[in-house]
Amino acid sequence: MVTAAEQGRETRRRLMDAAVEVIAEEGWGAASTRSVALRAGLPPGLVHYHFPSVTDLLIDASLRLAQEEVAGVVRAAVSDTGAAGLATLLDALASYRADQAATTVFTEMLLAGTRHERMRAGLAEVLRESRTAIADWLRREGDVIDPEACAAVVLAAMDGLVLHQLIAPELRDLGLATPLRRLVGISQHPNGD
């Protein structure tokens, strides 16, 4: 038998999943109580039962997505050693696609962060944790002279490329991984590519 707490968590998860889909397809400003509830297959009243406002739902859903996306990329990179780990991170960066929902939502999040302090603070914390994890890994590996600066450059490059690929998707065809590796001092992919 499902407990009330489990059902509540599942409802929140469904609402946040639906919010991410609506943001990706229609934009932050088009997401409403009704559109999110309809997408989730739930009554609209449940949105405000589980979240103080639609904005709170959108922030929570977006930050959850950002934490998952960024943590996944960082975790993959820091699980490798030396140049292989940095190459994994840079390859992931170069592979972001404009047609991925996460890419669009991330872009919407950046703009929302200029208008909603909680979004800005949450996104800043996600980025800070990622920079710290990457810098710590670079320091352990000893492959980069200034790990903090390198981590900041890599994450800023990710943001910039995500934004540029939304406007010019053909950038993905340019083979960005090699110049990105050179940017941080790796001339060649560890497997010789």
Domains and CATH numbers, the chain: 55-183 (1.10.357.10)
- pTM of the complete model: 0.82
How far CA 33 is from CA of 20, 27, 42, 50, in Å, comes to 13, 14, 10, 12
pLDDT of residue 104: 86
56 token code pair: 């709170």
| Low-confidence stretches of the chain (pLDDT beneath 70) | 82-83, 86, 90, 93-99, 142-143, 181, 184-193
Q: Residues with Cβ < 8 Å from 24, sequence gap 6 or more? A: 101, 102, 104, 105
Helix, strand, coil shares of the chain as percentages rounded to 5? 80, 0, 20
pLDDT of residue 189: 53
